[in-house]
Amino acid sequence: MNVTTTRLRRLRQKNSLRKLVQENNITVNDLVMPIFVKDKLTTKVEIASMPGCFQLGLNELDDEVDEIVSLGVFAVILFGIPSEKDALGSASMGDNGIVQQAIRRIKKRAPDLLVISDVCFCEYTDHGHCGVVVKSDDGMCGDTVDNDTTLPLLAQQAVSHAKAGADIVAPSGMLDNMVAAIRLGLDEAGYTKTLILSYAVKYASSFYGPFREAAEGAPKSGDRKSYQMNPANAAIGLLEAKQDIEQGADMVMVKPGMPYLDMVQRIKQNFPGTPLAVYQVSGEYSMIKAAALQGFLDERETVLESVVCMKRSGADIIITYFAKQIAKYLTAR
């Protein structure tokens, strides 16, 4: 046995010492709270698969915003659920669309709250896909999203969010050249200051299951495998991030979080100057909640561990349904 005089456990013997040498910390500055807002809803409705998370009507937004602000969280990401859906997702881009109304309402209530808006079509189309769908007759992938007819519509949707007052638009459809199309659209409309947070490295994941209940955006047929990434792949994620950054993304995202922290690390190492977000998605929230409700896991400790590990991997921004809860934990410490 090769005994050394180094004893690494010396650094871990007391709480104070452990804290003194801790490399990463979570603060409220890292957190983004998702909000689901539903057209024509006049109450708040709990999402069955996400206990503690709600669909809100427009009138319920004020209380939610007040609570978020009072906890010190200063960024939200907004998802809209329209009352009418059609093949092109027309309800996603009008001035009186649910998200546009919600953005204006939030900005009126809390002008300093950063509003990120998810830019996608799956909540707005009757088929539930993230763009214009064409029938594929090769029998290989089933019906799929037509990339280039969707791009101008995405740009239009992004511009309508910017016009309503969104600070950051976040395209989540994983279409090729979506960032370029949106940047061009925003700039042409005069919104040169609006940022783009691209869901650059987004996987076709089963962990989105509960979100599809929350946002009512499940595909009616087929899946999203022809546009979202294959969970078995890593290297192509670097190309996805590189392209989006070159096209003008101000920030990029890896999604989901916990099973994909290797990707967070790779993207941070390769693009250190680009702020990196990670999305702890609905299924991650549900897993921890369900286990905690059963008494199988200690909720507070598990939640805090899950997010500090995201920081350790290289994330700068953490989007999580636990954001409010984490802010409470941090102030109670």
Whether residue 14 lies in the annotated active site: no
CA distance 135 to 143: 5
208 binds ligand PBG (CB under 6 A): yes
Of the candidate residues 32, 75, 103, 122, the single one contacting ligand PBG (CB under 6 A): 122
CB of 212 to ligand PBG, least distance (A): 6
Ramachandran area for residue 302 (φ above 0: left; ψ -120 to 50: alpha; else beta): alpha
Which burial class, exposed, middle or buried, applies to 239 when counting CB atoms under 10 A from its CB (0-12, 13-18, 19+)? Answer: exposed
Residue among 227, 66, 232, 243 nearest 146 (CA): 227
Q: Residues touching ligand PBG: how many (CB under 6 A)?
A: 11
50 binds ligand PBG (CB under 6 A): no
CB of 123 to ligand PBG, least distance (A): 7
Q: Is the distance from CB of 203 to CB of 228 less than 8 angstroms?
A: yes
Of the candidate residues 124, 203, 211, 227, the single one contacting ligand PBG (CB under 6 A): 211
Of 38, 85, 163, 202, which is the active-site residue? 202
> Whose Cβ is closer to ligand PBG: residue 8's or residue 130's?
130
153 binds ligand PBG (CB under 6 A): no
Greatest CA separation found in the chain?
Answer: 73
99 binds ligand PBG (CB under 6 A): no
CB of 301 to ligand PBG, least distance (A): 22
Residue 256, preceding peptide bond in cis (omega within 30° of 0):
yes
Of 255, 289, 311, 324, which is the active-site residue? 255
Q: Is the distance from CB of 170 to CB of 118 less than 8 angstroms?
A: yes
> Whose Cβ is closer to ligand PBG: residue 49's or residue 101's?
49
Task: Collect all residues with Cβ–Cβ distance below 8 Å to 328 and sequence separation of at least 6.
Answer: 71
Task: Give the pairing of strands 276-280 and 317-320.
Answer: parallel
Quick one: which segment of 23-31, 55-63, 117-125, 138-146 binds ligand PBG (CB under 6 A)?
117-125
Quick one: which segment of 115-123, 144-152, 154-162, 301-309 binds ligand PBG (CB under 6 A)?
115-123
Residue among 281, 147, 148, 142 nearest 223 (CA): 142
Query: CA dist 216 to 77, 123, 228, 288, Å?
Result: 17, 6, 18, 22
241 binds ligand PBG (CB under 6 A): no
> Whose Cβ is closer to ligand PBG: residue 109's or residue 259's?
259
Q: Closest-CB residue for ligand PBG?
A: 211
118 binds ligand PBG (CB under 6 A): yes
203 binds ligand PBG (CB under 6 A): no
CB of 19 to ligand PBG, least distance (A): 32
Task: Collect all residues with Cβ–Cβ distance below 8 Å to 293 and sequence separation of at least 6.
Answer: 51
Please, which of residues 252-311 interact with ligand PBG by CB under 6 A?
Answer: 281-282
Burial state string for 166-181 with b = 16 or more CB within 10 A and e = fewer than 16: bbbbbbbbbbeebbbb
CB of 50 to ligand PBG, least distance (A): 9
Task: Collect all residues with Cβ–Cβ distance below 8 Å to 44 and sequence separation of at least 6.
Answer: 54, 55, 56, 57, 60
Catalytic residues: 202, 255
Rule CB under 6 A: which residues touch ligand PBG? 118, 120, 122, 130, 172-173, 208, 211, 224, 281-282
